[in-house]
């Protein structure tokens, strides 16, 4: 056990085990009442960079960002600022999130909601569907290529959109083969926590034509948003910048600032 990702995955394997036991004991997860909402559609039709605004109480790299958060109120403000989707950290151990946060956020808005967790097993996909998630994150570095493809296929078969996260060029081939709905390029290396926006610039050049791609992490303002847009990203995933503010009026203004026009960008 050396890197944080490996440590987290170790915890996830135990959670998966417990989930299977629960399902064997109590039966399958309850049916989902809510229809799915699509992020891919709004990313494709938007004339501006799509902002996926995140609810994250703490992170292993930054510590506590905001201990007490009202996910419904925050989701509403993200929506009012013009975000195309809400991302909710649901991992409890390392991010102090919960599936309850996702439910609360989703019922407060009309936007699609991304379940941000470390999904490595079909049972977590079932749980995500039941909880009302619209998009699920899969991380290329978390599993071998064949598992990535199988899990992506399963998630899509259950009606979810798949955001598949890569960090470097080396993961692009496996990611594309898994036929995700959207590819996310994480500017933060989950092994070292180092953040570099040049990561997105490099990887975006390697993606096949027509690929819907977003840049994740380390976006700290309009300048960075413009940089990601001109590199070819259709959207950005932003957490820390928004979570550093408790004042919801300034959070809303901050989201609006990030929705830079795509037309103005030389591609």
Ligand X SMILES: O=P(O)(O)OC[C@@H](O)[C@@H](O)c1c[nH]c2ccccc12
Contact 185, 168 (CB under 8 A): no
Is 186 tagged catalytic? Answer: yes
Contact in structure between 162 and 138 (CB atoms under 8 Å): yes
Strands 85-89 and 113-116 turn out to be parallel
Phi, psi (deg, nearest 5) at residue 123: -65, -30
Residue 35 Cβ, how far from ligand X at the closest point, in Å?
26
**237 binding ligand X? (CB under 6 A):** yes
Binder of ligand X out of 15, 40, 48, 54 (CB under 6 A):
54
Name which position in 218, 225, 229, 255 contacts ligand X (CB under 6 A): 218
Q: In whole angstroms, how close is the CB of 54 to ligand X at the nearest point?
A: 5
Q: Are 49 and 229 in contact (CB under 8 A)?
A: yes
Q: Is 2 a catalytic residue?
A: no
What are residue 139's phi and psi, to 5 degrees?
Answer: -110, 120
**Out of 15, 54, 79, 127, which one is annotated catalytic?**
54
12 catalytic? Reply is: no
DSSP string, 55-106: E-SEETTTEES-SS--HHHHHHHHHHHT-SEEEEE--STTT---HHHHHHHH
Residue 186 binds ligand X (CB under 6 A): yes
**Residue 187 known to be catalytic:** no
Q: Considering 79, 201, 216, 240, which one is annotated as catalytic?
A: 216
**Complex with ligand X: residue 54 or 101, whichever CB lies closer:** 54
CA dihedral of residues 149, 153, 154, 156 (deg, nearest 10): 140
Phi first, then psi, for residue 59 (nearest 5°) are: -145, 155
Q: Catalytic site residue 216?
A: yes
Q: Which of 106, 116, 227, 234 binds ligand X (CB under 6 A)?
A: 116
Q: Is 240 a catalytic residue?
A: no
Q: How far is the CB of 165 from ligand X (least distance, A)?
A: 6
With binding defined as CB under 6 A, does residue 79 bind ligand X? no
Q: Does 142 bind ligand X (CB under 6 A)?
A: no
Q: For binding to ligand X (CB under 6 A), which residues are involved? A: 54, 56, 116, 165, 186, 216-219, 237-241
């Amino acid at each position: 056990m050396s890197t944080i990702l490996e440590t987290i995955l170790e915890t996830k394997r135990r959670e998966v085990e417990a989930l299977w036991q629960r399902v064997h004991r109590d039966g399958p997860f309850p049916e989902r009442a809510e229809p799915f909402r699509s992020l891919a559609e709004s990313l494709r039709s938007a004339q501006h960079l799509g902002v996926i605004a995140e609810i994250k109480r703490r992170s292993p790299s930054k510590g506590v960002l905001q201990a007490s958060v009202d996910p419904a109120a925050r989701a509403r403000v993200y929506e009012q600022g013009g975000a195309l989707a809400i991302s909710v950290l649901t991992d409890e151990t390392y991010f102090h999130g919960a599936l309850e946060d996702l439910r609360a956020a989703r019922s407060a808005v009309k936007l699609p909601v991304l379940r941000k967790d470390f999904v490595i097993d079909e049972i977590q996909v079932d749980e995500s569907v039941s909880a009302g998630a619209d998009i699920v994150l899969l991380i290329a570095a978390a599993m071998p290529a064949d598992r990535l493809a199988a899990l992506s296929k399963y998630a899509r078969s259950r009606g979810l959109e798949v955001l598949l996260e890569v960090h470097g060029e080396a993961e692009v081939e496996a990611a594309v083969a898994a036929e995700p709905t959207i590819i996310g390029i994480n500017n933060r290396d989950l092994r070292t926590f180092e953040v570099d926006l040049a990561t997105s610039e490099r990887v975006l050049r390697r993606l096949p034509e027509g690929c819907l791609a977003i840049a994740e992490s380390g976006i700290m303002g309009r300048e960075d948003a413009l940089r990601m847009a001109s590199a070819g990203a259709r959207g950005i995933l932003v957490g820390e910048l928004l979570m550093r503010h408790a004042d919801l009026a300034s959070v809303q203004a901050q989201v609006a600032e990030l929705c830079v026009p795509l037309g103005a960008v030389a591609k």
